[in-house]
Structure formats: C-alpha cells, structure tokens
Amino acid sequence: MTSADLRLGAGAGPLGRGARWSRLVRRHSHWLFSLPAIAFVALFFGYPIVQNVVMSFQEYTTETFYTGEAPWVGLANYVTSLSSSLFTTTVVNTALFTIGSISFQFTIGLALALFFKRNFPLSGFLRSLLLLPWLLPLIASSAVWKWILDQESGVLNQFLGLFGIAPVPWLVSPGLALAGVIGVNIWLGIPFNVAILYSGLQAVPRELYEAGALDGAVGRKAFRHITWPSIRPVVSVVMVLGVVYTLKVVDIILGLTGGGPANSTQTLATNAYNKSFVEFDFGQGAALSNILIVVSLAFSLVYLYISRREPDE
C-alpha cells in the first residue's frame, strides 16, 4: 500500500467502498450457498451433540425437568460408567454382536448378490422379495422372531424336534441368547448388503469378463481377479456403514431379550437406553452414548480415509 493508494481510496469515497463491497461479496459468496446446509447441520446435528456432551457432565435426572437445575458433576458420569462391572460385559457384547452380524451379513449378502447377477426367470421378483425384512417395522419382526425362537412353543424348536433335537433355549440361555440375537440381526441386515453389493456388481463392465475369459479367467478366477478388485470400493462402504449401523442397534435387542437374560445381550447402546429411559439417569445415559459416538466416529474416519484413497472415476 502506498500513500497514493490511500489518498485515492479516501478521495473516491462511495465508489471505493462499493468496489470493496463487491469484491467482498465475490470472494465470500460461495459461503452463502452453503449457509442453509451449515444452518441445518448446526441446528439438527450440532445442537443435539453439544447438548448431549453437556448433559454427560451433569447430574441430569427426573428433577431437572421441573427445576431446570442440573448440577455439574464433571467426569463423574464417565467414571461411574467405565468402572461399572457391566461396562466390560457390554463392550464385549457390542464387539461380538457387531463382528458376528457384519461377517455373516456380508458373506451371505455377497453370495446372494452374485447369485442374482445372472438373470434368470423371476430373479427380479425374488430380489425384491429379499428386501422384505428391511421393510417390516423392526418391533413387529422382533415380536415374530421372539415367537419363532421360543423354547417350548417356538416353530424353530418344533421343526428341530422332528429330527429328534431337544428344544434349544435360544433366547433363554445366557450362552445362546447373544447368538440368537445376532442371528436375527443377520437376517435383518442381508437386504442392505445385497442391495448395495448387487448395484456394485452391475457397475462392473461386461467387457472385463469377456477379455478375462479369453485369458482363461472364468469362475473362481474371474471373481478373484475381476469382480473383487472392481467392487472393492463398494465393499468398504458396505462394511463401514454396516459397522456403524450395527453398533447402535437398540430396537431389535430390546424387542427380543431386553438385554437379558442376566445382561448376556446387553450392549453399549441398550445400556445407554436403559440408563436414560428406564432408570431416568440421563447424565449417565448421555455419557454412555457419547462413548458410543466416539467409537462410531472412529469407524466413520476409517470410511473417510478409504473413500479419499479411492481413484477418481
């Protein structure tokens, strides 16, 4: 800046101000376009998260609702949650539930997607039927499954009884209940996996297979060298989203076992729900759900990292 410039600016008066204003608008106008999105995110996502974090540092109970007083307790809610004997159980259950659900959902989903890739009569109809578990209200399907898995009158045990198998205590034995709940969640997650993986398979160019066939890549070889590398990006998306969705499953567990018997199906998510909405200890519930958010966030970052690494199409 020179003194000449300054003089010019001062002397030009309104014209200079107008120019500067227009430059300002030009430089920052792109922010105006994202303003609605920013406002939306801040209001509907930012506010609840901040509120939840604040809540986890408070003794937020039934009284708070009337008095509006929530004493600040610092890290006490986190200390109580982490030092509870239930915490280890819920973390182990959450891990088993997530790993068990995802691995089977994915394997079965991929197998079905590959199966439906070759068009055969009624394949479109059957594929849409496969979406059914996804469309049913969760609480209804969990009620049906509870009946199917019932030890004495459940249809599954009656069926197994035909082969001389003694009634299996699916949801009653602490050793089996988690497996039972995982089984139902697998059933529930297959449509998601099939739908995404199927569309991924559709995007693999046909020429690749034709070219591969000339070089002798058919069947298993074609899958290993053509299909799998082509759908890898889709696979990582399905996996990470699946993990994040599975971590926070509440309704299916509440509907089937309510976290029981003897906490054998209690996960971080159901425990947080219990603390907040059964025991009305909202502070501790918030602390637990924050821990869950951090875990989900870690997986979201993995997703971000993977999707950034992807080659541009």
Which positions lie near other proteins, rule CB under 8 A? 41, 44-45, 48-49, 51-52, 55, 62-68, 84-86, 150-152, 169, 171-174, 241, 244-245, 248, 250, 257-264, 269, 273, 276-280, 282, 285-286, 289, 292-293, 296-297, 300-301, 303-304, 307-308, 310, 312-313
What's the min distance (Å) between Cβ of 62 and other proteins?
5
Q: How far is the CB of 209 from other proteins (least distance, A)?
A: 25
CB of 158 to other proteins, least distance (A): 12
Shortest gap between Cβ of 284 and other proteins (angstroms)? 12
Whole-angstrom distance, CA of residue 242 vs CA of residue 265: 19
For residue 220 the two structure tokens come to: 């298993």
d(CA 223, CA 246): 28
- In three-state secondary structure terms, 1 is coil
Q: Least separation, in Å, of the C-beta of 295 and other proteins?
A: 10
Q: Least distance to other proteins from the beta carbon of 51, Å?
A: 7
CB of 13 or CB of 68, closer to other proteins: 68
Residue 23, SS3 per DSSP: helix
* 112 or 269: CB nearest other proteins: 269
Cβ-based neighbours of 254, under 8 Å, separated by 6 or more: 142, 270, 273
Q: What angle is formed at CA 304 by the lines to CA 41 and CA 269, rounded to 5 degrees?
A: 65
Q: What is residue 263's DSSP assignment?
A: T
Residue 278: DSSP 8-state = T
Torsion over CA of 269, 271, 273 and 279, rounded to 10 degrees? -170
What is the smallest separation between the CB atom of 300 and other proteins, expressed in angstroms? 4
Residue 196 exposure: Cα atoms within 13 Å on the Cβ side: 20
CA distance 113 to 199: 9
Which C-beta is closer to other proteins: that of 85 or that of 119?
85
What residue type is assigned to position 290 of the chain?
N
CA 235, CA 99: separation in Å to the nearest integer? 15
Extract the runs of DSSP E, i.e. beta strands, from 154-280. none
CB of 159 to other proteins, least distance (A): 17
Between residues 111 and 296, which has the closer beta carbon with respect to other proteins?
A: 296
Query: Which of 145, 140, 141, 113 lies closest to 126 in space, CA to CA?
Result: 113
- Can you read off the two tokens belonging to residue 82? 């982490």
